[in-house]
Amino acid sequence: MKNRGKKYVEAVSKIEKGKAYTKEEAAKLVKETSVSKFVSSVEIAVRLNLDTKKADQQLRGAIVLPNGTGKTKKVLVVARGENAKKAEAAGADFVGDVDILEKIEKENWFGFDVMIATPDMMPLLGKLGRVLGPRGLMPNPKTGTVTVDVEKAVNEVKAGRVEYRTDSFGNVHGIIGNTDFTEEKLVENMDAFMATLLKVKPATVKGEYVKNISIASTMGPGIKVSSNSFDK
């Protein structure tokens, strides 16, 4: 606990070491152990028993949280004609095609959080892969950001859709709300997140699938959550 502030030490003292809490207890604790002066994001971290060297065990997708994340994301839609009109009507913050891609390439402009593209625009996006990829902004069919139904995609992002993907160790991270959320809303979002991960469990996984679940507020301590809290 060296170099940790007094508030953090106090927060840690509220958590029983080694205990796996129910999701309801964890939601209550994550609010009580928030140490920042501002409204903090609440993040979930799930360690899965996956061999990510196998293609079918590299998970990636998107989850629409029932209560959103507490953040409003700026959406860019790359589309033409009727699809562009639908994107604007759905509330996309930016809509364009070649012009907006040139702005990204020449001006290094990244004033958006999510990029959605129609399939016919993907060839034009190829050369931007090197700048969009590392930022996690490259549209992908697996996350629903390459689609002909731009209206649905925009609505889902604005409603609180979060993307997830496993890292090389089989961990999945995601925001499930903030410390202003009620405990009930945090639990509902946790349920939705875990239900999705359980639904996409690869058939080739052997043994226990969910190894560890924890939640934490920004700068706050981690709280272990019992996997028995969720429907298997």
**Domain layout of the chain by residue ranges:** 17-69+161-229, 75-159
Closest by CA position to 28, among listed 184, 172, 212: 184
The average pLDDT across 39-56 equals 94
Pick the CATH number of 75-159 from 3.40.50.790, 3.40.50.11540, 3.40.33.10, 3.20.20.70: 3.40.50.790
Count Cα atoms within 13 angstroms, Cβ side, for 226. 10
Label residue 3 by pLDDT band (50, 70, 90).
low
Judge whether residue 59 has pLDDT over 80. Answer: yes
Per-residue pLDDT, averaged over 113-142, amounts to 93
Averaged pLDDT of the chain: 92
CA–CA distance, 210 with 200 (Å, rounded to integer): 12
17-69+161-229: CATH superfamily? Ribosomal protein L1/L10, rRNA-binding domain (3.30.190.20)
Q: What is the DSSP string of 113-161?
A: SEEEE-GGGHHHHGGGHHHHGGGT-S--GGGT-B-S-HHHHHHHHHHTE
Residue 112 contacts residue 75 (beta carbons within 8 Å): yes
Q: Is 223 exposed, middle or buried (0-12, 13-18, 19+ CB in 10 A)?
A: buried
Q: Enter the pTM of the model.
A: 0.80
> 185-231 pLDDT, tens per residue?
999 999 999 999 999 999 999 899 999 999 999 989 999 999 998 87
